[in-house]
Structures are given as structure tokens and as C-alpha cells.
Amino acid sequence: MQRQGIPGEIVYLEAPTPTVQTAAEAVGVGPEQIVKSLLFLAKDEAVLAITCGTLPVERRVIAARFGVGRKKVKLADAETVLAATGYAVGSVPPFGHRKSLPSMLDPRVLEHEEIYAGGGGGNALVPLNPQDILKFSMAELVDLHSPPEI
């Protein structure tokens, strides 16, 4: 974060926060203020989906965006996540990855003044202004929860 000039400071919690709900409880916010950074493979290309709360990502959106069939989009396994991002599943921040990744940010993230994202460790979160996620992830704004119109 310092190298890229990203404002914010990582918060280290006493206990791990493996789920959106436990993370929200640990920092005293609603689940919609917890950002999850999920790595998908779209026809074997790593793609980052940045969204908030407990809503599932609609894989058909990713498929449509990358011009592949829905069955060609799958959640990356733990080994792939670590190799592509440099972080373990459950701790992936929305930026600062080992490789440059095409990223999509759900606009719902921008509805909040402050959100908490993965801080790179099982017990680490980083409070951020959502506009900083948009700026530093260089993500494309995409509704990740609504099926695409056909």
C-alpha cells in the first residue's frame, strides 16, 4: 500500500475472519461493508471479482464479459489464488497482487463511505474509501450480481 501510495492502514485482529459475517462482527459493521476479492478463471484466464457482502457473484456476468460460456467460468482453487495474487484464499486484497489481473468491481461497493477489504492475512483487514479501490485496482465497474440480459 505504501509503495503504491494507497491511503489506509492494515488492522490486525485477535482472531481470524474466514467469512464475511465473522469479519463484519469483528470490526462492527454490516456484511455489506465487507469487500470480498474472488479469483475466477474464465477459460483459464485469472479474473478478479471485487464485491461486498454475502451476495453470490453471477458467473454468467463474467462469462459474458470475457466472451466464454458460463461453464468455462469457475472459482479458482487455493493454489491458483496464491500463485496469481500472492495471498491465501480469504485474505486477498482488491489490489497489490503478484500479477496484474483484469478486475471487475461491483458498483454496490461504492455505495458506502468506508468498507473493509482483505488485508493479506487471515486476521487482517484494511478499512478503505471505496473510491480508492476503484482507482488502485483499475477495475471495470460491472454489476456482478444480476444475470446479463440476453
Whichever domain contains 114, its CATH number is 3.90.960.10
Give the up-direction half-sphere exposure of residue 77: CA atoms within 13 A in the CB hemisphere.
Answer: 2
Backbone angles phi, psi at 50, to 5 degrees: -110, 120
Please check whether residue 124 lies inside any domain of the structure.
yes
Contact 55, 64 (CB under 8 A): no
User: Is 48 inside any structural domain?
Assistant: yes
Q: Residue 5 has which C-alpha cell? A: 501510495
Mean pLDDT by 10 residues, the chain (150 residues): 80 90 94 96 95 92 94 96 95 92 96 95 94 94 86
User: pTM for the whole thing?
Assistant: 0.92
Q: Which domain holds residue 129?
A: 11-141
Distance separating alpha carbons of residues 55 and 52, to the nearest angstrom: 7
Torsion-angle region of residue 43: left (phi > 0), alpha (psi -120 to 50) or beta? left
